[in-house]
């Protein structure tokens, strides 16, 4: 079988979607490596899981927006090797110079060029966002296939970029756990929406819930500075996610509805993970993620930024029972079909 690498510009600590795809590729008999960026120099340089390797690359530490952009470029340009297939995860990962392959796939988990504007809308961040979008438009024709994580995002990329992605939802097979019923709410994942995290803490205080936060991301230090007593667990892997899920009753999965990726249909991984473990979620109303949540009875929705609405939704979700109706196997089949059709091309 083939040598395949996946490129991601986070620490993969964890990145459930990337690791799920790596596992599926290993199950097909491929030799699989994930290249990840350890921006904070805090993660294991090399990890082996489920037959694949995560190789984490460290560059200089970066804090300001401009230096983060430079260090990300250094990370991407440091990657070397010859592969049968490269899967780039999000469009901010595509600027590699020394990785070579017969075929390549771009997995558009999200609208990456919207990320720089999630925390602040400064001139520098607008420039970074514009350049990321321009790079994506310029390089689209080089890929042999596209993936994305929701029907809404598929529509966006087809309409605005003329890409035709295969939709692979971020679902895992159901593994329901008993709920502790201790009024505990969790947020497990990338911590990049600061206002959402403030809502989590303040609405937890209002409703008598205990918040647990785990994951990495650009807002961690800012969040802990504001709430030094927050129950923050740091980065986690898939095994630790199971332990974290066992502690909570409700998952917090709210995002700012004004952000481009949210408006166009991004669906939270944590909402799917929570459902798989039998946990209801609280997510944002008036956008596709909220509609999806209600249609599939995965939790309650609230108006972003409205503390009364969010507090009510947390209490509603606490009283709900959730059963995941999605199967990993359906998504695996779509993913494998795309990859095999590309690798079988002569």
Report the predicted TM-score, pTM, of the whole model to 2 decimal places: 0.89
287 & 141 share domain: no
17 & 112 share domain: yes
127 & 188 share domain: no
Domain-located, residue 178: no
DSSP state of 142: G
Q: What's the whole-number mean pLDDT along residues 68-85?
A: 95
124 & 58 share domain: yes
- The 10s digit of each residue's pLDDT in 193-210 is 999 999 999 999 999 999
Domain-located, residue 177: no
| Residues near 13 by beta carbon (within 8 Å), at least 6 away in sequence | 36, 43, 216, 235, 236, 237
- The 10s digit of each residue's pLDDT in 131-153 is 999 999 999 999 999 999 999 99
Range of the structural domain that residue 336 is part of:
3-171+328-343
For residue 121, what pLDDT band results from cuts at 50, 70 and 90? confident
CATH code for position 11 = 3.40.50.2000
pLDDT at 64: 67
223 & 157 share domain: no
Token pair for 141:
């024709």
Domain-located, residue 176: no
310 & 334 share domain: no
228 & 110 share domain: no
**Rounded CA gap, 86 and 343, in Å?**
11
């Amino acid at each position: 079988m083939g040598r395949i690498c996946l490129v991601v510009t986070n620490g993969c600590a964890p990145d459930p979607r990337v690791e799920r795809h790596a596992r599926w590729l290993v199950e097909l008999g491929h030799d699989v490596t994930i290249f990840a960026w350890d921006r904070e120099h805090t993660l294991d340089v090399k990890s082996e899981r489920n037959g694949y390797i995560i190789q984490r690359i460290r560059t200089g530490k970066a804090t300001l927006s401009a230096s983060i952009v430079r260090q990300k470029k250094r990370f991407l340009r440091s990657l070397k090797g010859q592969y049968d297939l490269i899967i780039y995860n999000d469009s901010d990962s595509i600027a590699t110079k020394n990785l070579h392959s017969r075929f390549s796939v771009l997995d558009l988990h999200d609208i990456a060029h919207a990320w720089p504007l999630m925390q602040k809308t400064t001139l520098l961040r607008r420039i970074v966002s514009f350049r990321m979008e321009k790079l994506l438009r310029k390089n689209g024709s080089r890929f042999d296939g596209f993936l994305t994580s929701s029907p809404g995002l598929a529509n966006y990329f087809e309409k605005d970029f003329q890409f035709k992605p295969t939709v692979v939802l971020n679902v895992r097979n159901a593994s329901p756990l008993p709920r502790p019923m201790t009024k505990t709410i969790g947020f497990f994942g990338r911590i990049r929406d600061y206002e959402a995290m403030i809502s989590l803490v303040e609405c937890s205080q209002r409703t008598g819930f205990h918040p647990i936060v785990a994951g990495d991301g650009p807002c961690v230090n800012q969040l802990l500075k504001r709430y030094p007593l927050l129950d923050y667990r740091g980065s986690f892997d898939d095994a630790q996610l199971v332990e974290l899920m066992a502690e909570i009753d409700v998952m917090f999965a709210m995002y700012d509805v004004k952000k481009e990726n949210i408006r166009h249909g991004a669906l939270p991984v944590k909402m799917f993970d929570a459902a798989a473990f039998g946990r209801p979620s609280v997510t944002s109303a008036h956008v596709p993620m909220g509609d999806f949540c209600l249609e599939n009875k995965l939790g309650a929705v609230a108006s972003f930024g409205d503390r009364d609405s969010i507090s009510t939704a947390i209490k509603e979700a606490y009283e709900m029972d959730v059963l995941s109706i999605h199967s990993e196997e359906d998504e695996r089949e779509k993913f494998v079909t795309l990859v095999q059709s590309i690798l079988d091309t002569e």
